[in-house]
Amino acid sequence: MESLLRKAAEALKGNARRTFMAQTIEDYGPGGQRWAEEKLQWNRGTIRKGQQDLSSGIPAVEGFSNRGRRKAEEHLPNLLTDIKAIVEPKCQTDPTFHTTRLYRPITAKVVRDILIEEYGYASLNMPHQRTISRKLDFLEYWPRKVTKSKPLKKIPETNDIFEEVHKLNREADETPGILRISLDAKARIKVGPFSRGGYSRQHKDGIDHDFDPDVVLGLFGFLLPEHDDTYFYFTKSKITADFIVDAIESLWSELKQTRKIHTLVLNMDNGPDNNSHRRVQINPNRWDSR
């Protein structure tokens, strides 16, 4: 019987369990609470609470939600809003664009320090650094290492510069005898019997690694945007300013005859191979036009 009563009480929850325990003690009679505590391992406080429910006929209100420690944002109502104001302007999107996640370049410790120094939070009342980290995860600001410094991509004069470039390109495209070409260097190419998905382009077995190529070629290309035509030049050495000038001279000799032009307009991206710091002495007699 004791085992049956114990199992029945364990199967019940809340007010139903307390009522069952109180009714069992009432049926037992005097000494029921001591007997239930020793034999059934029932708590006397729970029994008394159940007896109060029986006598009043009104079940006690459950307060499970009031148990435990309250969240930090309940003590500090503006905490999440202030964290968003600090982190969101500094967040970066996924560089691969495979997800819509936002990555934060600052740590939880820095966020906590800013809240204290700039937002007036008291140091003693502030949540721990670990709590701030959890709040950042809750707000879906994920930590990720980023570059320490970013190159300047745009200056106030950028729009004016590009407007002038577009203007000159339109004039070149619309004026007979003027040809616009775009030039750029590409990654160096290793030449050898290397595997491309298991086979070479000649459908012969290729080696898996490119540790010992026959030769490494530098590639410099020209694009004629209005004619959808391309020209490529290769070199075994590095792409130097002299090589670029020689390639332009060779291309000029060919285009001057086939397309009947007298002027070239060059579009370059100011990259490391063709930026404005690359200089070479040119004999003006070698060119009959600019």
Specify if 180 maps to a domain: yes
Rounded CA gap, 125 and 115, in Å?
11
User: Is the same domain home to 7 and 83?
Assistant: no
- Stretch 6-24: mean pLDDT, rounded? 84
Q: Sheet holding 102-104: strands in order across? A: 92-93, 102-104, 141-143
Q: In this model, does residue 62 exceed pLDDT 90?
A: no
Specify if 148 maps to a domain: no
User: Is the same domain home to 97 and 41?
Assistant: no
**DSSP state at residue 64:** G
> For the chain, how many structural domains are there in total?
3
Rounded CA gap, 83 and 89, in Å?
11
pLDDT digits (tens, 9 = 90+) for 178-203: 999 999 988 888 887 776 555 545 56
Q: Chain-centre distance of CA 173, in angstroms?
A: 41
Give ∠ CA 9-10-15 in degrees, rounded to 5. Answer: 60
- Give the number of other Cβ atoms within 10 Å of residue 111's Cβ: 21
pTM over 0.75: no
- Stretch 230-248: mean pLDDT, rounded? 89
Specify if 153 maps to a domain: no
- Stretch 14-23: mean pLDDT, rounded? 84
CA atoms 183, 189, 195, 197: torsion sign: negative
Structure-model confidence comparison of residues 65 and 200, the more confident one: 65
Q: How far is CA 35 from CA 26, 45, 49, 222, in A?
A: 12, 14, 17, 98
Amino acid at 184: D
User: Is the same domain home to 170 and 245?
Assistant: yes
Q: In this model, does residue 288 exceed pLDDT 50?
A: no
Specify if 244 maps to a domain: yes
Would you state the structure tokens that stand for residue 27, as one six-digit string?
């049926």
Would you state the structure tokens that stand for residue 212, as one six-digit string?
């010992």
User: Is the same domain home to 129 and 106?
Assistant: yes
Cβ proximity of 121 and 115 under 8 Å: yes
User: Is the same domain home to 162 and 77?
Assistant: no
Backbone dihedral region of 180: left (phi > 0), alpha (psi from -120 to 50 degrees) or beta? beta
- Domain assignment of residue 243, given as a range: 158-286
